Structure 1
Amino acid sequence: MSIGAKSRSLRGIAAVVVLLAVGATGCADVVEGAKAGAKKAVRQRSVFSLTTGDCYNPNSGVTDTEEFSVEVVPCTEAHEGQVVGEFKIGGEKEYPGEDGTTQIADERCPAVAQEFIADTWTVPEGVDLFYYFPTSESWKTGDRAVSCTYAKDKGTFTGSLKSGDLDADQLAYLKGSNALYEALWANQPEAEQVEDDFDGYKKQAKSVGIALDMHLTALKGIQQPETVKLRTQLENAAEAWKKAASAKDTDAFYVAYDLAFTGIDPNKTVAARKELKLATTVPADDAEVWAD
């Protein structure tokens, strides 16, 4: 999902003038409404000036394709989104097009966001990853920035999403776990049937196997009972992913994949997460996938 960025709009200034004029009528409710509107107008900021940690309310809607400015608010107030990271597109002389910029954002924003939110299980339900990226017009002015945000399409949430201080075991677990599921979904073939993209599914299995091996290496340093049990379970899953990656035919792949996919069911990590004092509620999207 993407949101384009353009230049600052003057609509906020116009809103202040109109609201102040209405407030002059002396009607108490109108005055209060005018004050609230004026407060919102004063909080308007160009999307170009957003920085990591900013909490905001879009003026046009979270999923609108372009946004000129947003209302930046204290994170203690209800809001629709928060900027969780940013980066600049490099190595591109010409504008890569909307498809190209969204692909870059799709690839980089998840990793950038994890620097702000180490444990994605703490993200409120209904809050998803969005981003503001350059348009062809803003590219001509030197705009190369992509702002990665977590936002809620319907409703609001309160408080900052930034992770608190985490100890070494928590960080080691989360780094490996995040990389594991990122490898799974980032390499998910578009074809729904393995027969239609056998090589693509084998490539996915190989990527997951590599990420899982790295996760297991990190888990060896955590000597807590439930985490040790989880490591044993994931070792079996790793073998299944490797068998899927080297399968000679689709029948062999299906047999290995079933064991591999079941082996990384997030529900099976809850006990270890509880032991490590991490979030223990499986995200709704993940719960639905592994419930099938």
Structure 2
Amino acid sequence: MTVRVPHRSLRGLSAVAALLAIGAVGCSEVSDAVDSTKDTAKKAARQQSVFSLDIGDCYNPNGKAEGTAFAVEVVPCTEAHVGQVVGEFAIDKGQEYPGDDEISAIADTRCPVEAQKYAPDTWALPKGAALFYYTPTKESWLTGDRAVSCTYTAEKGKFSGSLNTAKSFKPEQITYLEGSNAVYEALWANQPEKDTVEDDLAGYKAQAKAVAAALDAHVKGLAGIEGAEVGKLRSTLTKAAGDWKNAADAADADAFYIAYDPAFTGIDPNKSVAARKELGLATTVPADEAEVWAG
């Protein structure tokens, strides 16, 4: 399997379990060597094939997070670790290997959805946690490997504790999170390939249509949640939905730009902080999202 993350080079990782030998050294050095050997033996005993990873498993990769991996060190989630498996699914693409690009595209689409079932509030994730995924390689595909394991991985350092929070939320919190997550998923999953509207007006309009539909569903869900701040957010998103619909119906690039500016501003995550606080959810906008809307 290969661990993949969008827009990154993924090469050069191998899993090797090393054994240390103790030579004729001083007492303190012997003690240090014994401790080191115990740690190595413990790590070796925890090695598990990437093919057998399950949802909920916390692990440390044997090297960098990215690249080709054969085994990882599975550890208790109470210990510091680099990643946790938060979702999985099988690729149904027949006998022929579909290629790296298509498998990555499938994982890009499915993993955010699967991960949000396990950890619905992405704002509450540990700082620096990013969504990675293990996918079949061309070689493992020939052996029947079709599994994709979605993981949250610390881009720097480690984190402790399980990310499994799905059962800890109240119904109104889940309703909010599902609607909000769907809006941003519609935005990012439908990114046009071209950099400018002039080069792909149809693509940008399709994206706008998807976001508008997700906003309509989100606004409908918010109607059943009490709270002054939730009500204010619902009004804001209702207007934003109208702006996205205008963008989707734009006759030309100029009309699209006119509609897009208030549409994009209307879903600025900062506008939802007060409602999130009222609902008892995390209120710190993730750094990557804050950067996007900061311009």
- TM-score, normalization by structure 1: 0.92
Report the AA paired with residue 251 of structure 2.
K
Aligned AA (1:243): N
Paired residue type of 1:147: S
In structure 2, C-alpha distance between the alignment counterparts of 1:97 and 1:236, rounded to whole Å:
42
The 8 Å contact of residues 15 and 70 in structure 2, kept in 1 or not, is answered as no
**Structure 2 CA distance, aligned partners of 1:24 and 1:243?**
78
The number of residue pairs the alignment matches comes to 282
Identity, in percent, stands at 61
- 1:166 pairs with one of 152, 169, 174: 169
Instruction: Check the 8 A contact 2:15/2:62 in 1, yes or no.
Output: no
1:254 and 1:97 map into 2 onto residues whose CA distance is 36
- Per the alignment, residue 76 of structure 2 pairs with 74
What's 1:101 paired with? 103
1:91 CA displacement: 3.8
CA RMSD of superposed structures (Å)? 1.7
Please show how residues 19-168 of structure 1 align to structure 2 within 5 Å.
19=20, 21-22=21-22, 27-63=30-66, 65-163=67-165, 164-168=167-171
Q: 4+ runs of 1 displaced by more than 2 Å?
A: 9-12, 21-26
Task: Give the Cα separation in 2 of the matches to 1:228 and 1:186.
Answer: 28
SS in 2 for 1:115: helix
Task: Tell me the CA shift for residue 10 of structure 1.
Answer: 8.3
Deviations 1:14-36 (A, max 9, x none): x2xx33x3289661111111111
Quote the Cα distance in structure 2 between the aligned partners of 1:198 and 1:103: 22
Q: Give 5+ residue unaligned stretches, structure 2.
A: 5-9
Q: CA contact under 8 A between 2:16 and 2:62: conserved in structure 1?
A: no
- Match runs of 1:199-214 below 5 Å: 199-214=202-217
Unmatched tracts of structure 1, length 5 or more: none
Counterpart contact for 1:226–1:271, Cα < 8 Å:
yes
Letter in 1 for 2:201: F
Name the SS for the 2:22 alignment partner.
helix
Q: Partner residue of 1:3? A: 3
CA displacement 1:158-189 (0-9 Å, x = unmatched): 11111151111001000000000000011111
Q: Distance in 1 between matches of 2:140 and 2:256?
A: 47
Q: Could you tell me how far 1:190 is from its partner in structure 2? A: 2.5
